[in-house]
Each structure stands twice: as structure tokens, then as C-alpha cells.
Amino acid sequence: MAKKTFESALSRLEQITTELEQGELSLEKSLKKFEEGIELVRFCGARLEEARSRVDLLLEKSGHLEPVPFDEEDRGDQTLS
């Protein structure tokens, strides 16, 4: 079995959301999909937390962590007016 990735889990979560929104599943199938979705949310949350921790390590300066909050305006891909 292939290793689950953040991207594959997110894609599956989007698929489950679509299926549930359509409202065509039985109650039992809806509950199973919901349970699977909860597991995927937990998996994705854990991967995001791992990524955040890695970013914090990359920001290490002078022997201690200096977390820098992400600022939309500092992304560097904005066009100049």
C-alpha cells in the first residue's frame, strides 16, 4: 500500500466533502464517510504541525528559536503599484 501523503489525504477529504454535500448517501454510509473524514483531518493536522515545527527550526538564530509569523504582505510575490 502506498504511503499516505498530505496531498493525497487532502484530496480524499475534498472528495468525501463533495459526496456528503450531495446528500445521496444513506445515513450509515454518511457516518462512515464522516468518520474517515475526521481521521483525514487529524492526519493533515499532524502533518501541518510537523511542518510548522520544521519551519521553526529553520528560523533558529543565535542558538534559540525566533518564530516569525507569516505575513501575507511579505510573501514577495506581490506586484508593485
What is the full per-residue pLDDT of the chain (81 aa) written as tens digits?
467 899 999 999 999 999 999 999 999 999 999 999 999 999 999 999 998 888 777 776 556 666 666 665 554 444 443
CATH number (1.10.540, 1.10.287, 3.60.21, 3.30.70) of 6-60 reads 1.10.287
Please report, as a single letter, which amino acid is at residue 27. Answer: L
Q: What is the pTM of this model?
A: 0.67
How many whole angstroms separate alpha carbon 9 and alpha carbon 3? Answer: 10
pLDDT (0 to 100) of residue 61? 58
How many whole angstroms separate alpha carbon 71 and alpha carbon 19? Answer: 35
pLDDT (0 to 100) of residue 16? 97
Please report, as a single letter, which amino acid is at residue 29. Answer: K
How many whole angstroms separate alpha carbon 42 and alpha carbon 46? Answer: 6
Distance (Å) of CA 54 to CA 5, 60, 75, 81 = 17, 10, 19, 34
Within 10 Å of residue 40's Cβ, how many Cβ atoms?
20
